[in-house]
Structure 1
């Protein structure tokens, strides 16, 4: 599967992650560690190493080759400023995936997340052949909910204690976007 990079309206490039990104991704996570803490699972200190990022990228690229994950990075002037991932990809009658993304604290309110999600949705429909994407947010994550709504995601429910985030099971809003109503891709 070939997914070309895309220049986003917010000025960043959205491209597939590369094994060469381990150091830059490590730097991005270190710079945003405190900012991301309320929104992500607790991470061991070992996560915040170049070696762990290289291992993680290697696993993501393996899963990409197996058509289970698509891992992107947001890049601006050679610096990684966020990620977007389609995971849990399923084909056949389900033809769906889960979307996750983040943009660096110092890059907020530039439209990058909205532009990145739009690009991911385009690739999911036109290149990967998915029918549907699901995304979740914490109940109080209004900025992420706005990004999803701007990109045609609809609220489909609330899941109590859905994910273990920052040390506790947290309720999440569930969103989905139907990409097309054609037959499933193979």
Structure 2
């Protein structure tokens, strides 16, 4: 099957990003600076230029190279954010990582968990990957709810893992492997069979992360 084909569940859909998406995505990012800035990766070398056209070209080149799949998330056909499958590794690792952002005006509509479930199913079923990972700052309670809803399994604390807001920040790592979801991530979630307990963070990791 074609991994570029749009995937949809209810009003939520994901599709491959296109160059023509640059203007609306840049508008959403600029309009949501206060909402998104605490979670956005930054460069330890200093500020970098904000050019969505260039960013999309780079994402699509990574897609052509087999290193990632960049999606746009939509709600009722309106662009609501981005979801990127990145760091695709083949061979004995056969894994990838998911990152995403959603506009504040679309928060609370189930867009992110639905999109993550759709993308993970594509990665397992059509790309043939074995493991999917999501890394989240301990302070990002909304994203922690996403992995809990979908039954992603907590794997550990990664100290000073990603540079965000001017410093290296701790992240919690969550993952699923294909054997855990033979029916698919989306189907397991909507049928109520995803265990939120899988994402529980042990007490030993909470003080270490400052929470």
TM above 0.5: yes
Q: CA deviation at 1:149?
A: 2.0
SS in 2 for 1:109: coil
Deviations 1:58-117, CA, capped at 9 Å, x for gaps: 111111011101000112355421111110100111000011011111111111111001
Of 40, 46, 50, the residue aligned with 2:49 is: 46
Range that drifts further, 38-47 or 154-163 = 38-47
Measured in 1, the distance between the counterparts of 2:76 and 2:31 equals 16
Aligned to 2:28: 28
CA distance in 1, matches of 2:2, 2:91: 20
The structure whose Rg is larger is: 2
Pick closer, same or farther for the CA change 1:37–1:67 going to 2, 3 Å: same
Match of 1:95 in 2: 94
TM-score (norm 1): 0.88
Find the aligned partners of 1:136 and 1:161 in 2 and give their Cα distance: 12
Matched, 1:146 2:149: no
Using the alignment, how far apart are the partners of 1:17 and 1:106 within structure 2? 20
Q: What is residue 162 of structure 1 aligned with on the other side?
A: 161
Structure-2 residue corresponding to 1:136: 135
Query: Secondary structure, in 3 states, of the residue corresponding to 1:110?
Result: coil
Other structure's SS at 1:128 match: coil
Distance 2:150 2:177 in 1: 11
Inter-partner Cα distance in structure 2 for 1:23 and 1:103: 16
Give, in whole Å, the separation in 2 of the partners of 1:139 and 1:149.
13
Quick one: distance in 2 between partners of 1:150 and 1:127? 23
Please tell me whether the aligned partners of residues 8 and 14 of structure 1 are also in contact (alpha carbons under 8 angstroms).
no
Deviations 1:121-144 (A, max 9, x none): 110111111100111100121221
1:108-127 aligned at under 5 Å gives the runs 108-127=107-126
Gaps (5+ residues) in structure 1?
Answer: 182-186
Task: Tell me the SS of whatever aligns to 1:67.
Answer: coil
Structure-1 separation of matches of 2:146 and 2:52: 27
Preserved CA contact (<8 Å) 2:15 2:71: yes
